[in-house]
């Protein structure tokens, strides 16, 4: 069993709607060179502008063989000022859907 009680992992839990909970990590912890530009549509859905401080999270998966991966292709972006978040998927993204995370 994988315990996510400590950094750099954190639980993202819904506060409205159907109950949902995801294990997440800051994508820059997995890949320090991680960069992503949001489209105008994404910024609009987040009620944000290019200067808005946003929280970026990659969903973590624990495979049956124990391999831990992060979805760098479709991060969840949250605007904490208005408590709105969305999973974003850019066209032509080169980041992997399952990037292996080395657990030490």
**Greatest CA span in the chain, whole angstroms?**
41
**2 pLDDT above the threshold of 60:** no
CATH number at residue 60: 2.30.290.10
Q: Do the domain assignments include residue 26?
A: yes
pTM of the full structure: 0.85
Residue 1 — very low, low, confident or very high, per pLDDT cuts 50/70/90? very low
Distance between CA atoms of residues 44 and 67, nearest Å: 36
Is the residue at 1 inside a domain? no
Give per-residue pLDDT as tens, 12-21.
Answer: 988 787 888 9
**Mean pLDDT computed over 79-93:** 89
Does 28 fall in a domain?
A: yes
User: Looking at the domain assignment, is residue 66 inside a domain?
Assistant: yes
For residues 48-54, average pLDDT: 94
Torsional class of 5: left (φ above 0), alpha (ψ -120 to 50), beta (otherwise): alpha
Q: Considering its fold, how many domains does the chain have in total?
A: 1
Per-residue pLDDT band for 103 (boundaries 50, 70, 90) equals: low
């Amino acid at each position: 069993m994988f315990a996510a009680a400590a950094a750099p992992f954190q639980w993202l839990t819904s506060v409205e709607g159907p109950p949902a909970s995801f294990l997440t990590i800051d994508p820059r912890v997995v890949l320090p060179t991680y960069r992503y530009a949001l489209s105008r549509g994404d910024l609009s859905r987040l009620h944000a502008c290019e200067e808005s401080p946003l929280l970026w999270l990659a969903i973590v998966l624990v495979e049956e063989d124990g391999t831990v991966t992060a979805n760098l292709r479709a991060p969840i972006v949250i605007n904490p000022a208005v408590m709105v978040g969305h999973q974003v998927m850019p066209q032509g993204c080169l980041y992997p859907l399952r990037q292996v995370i080395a657990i030490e």
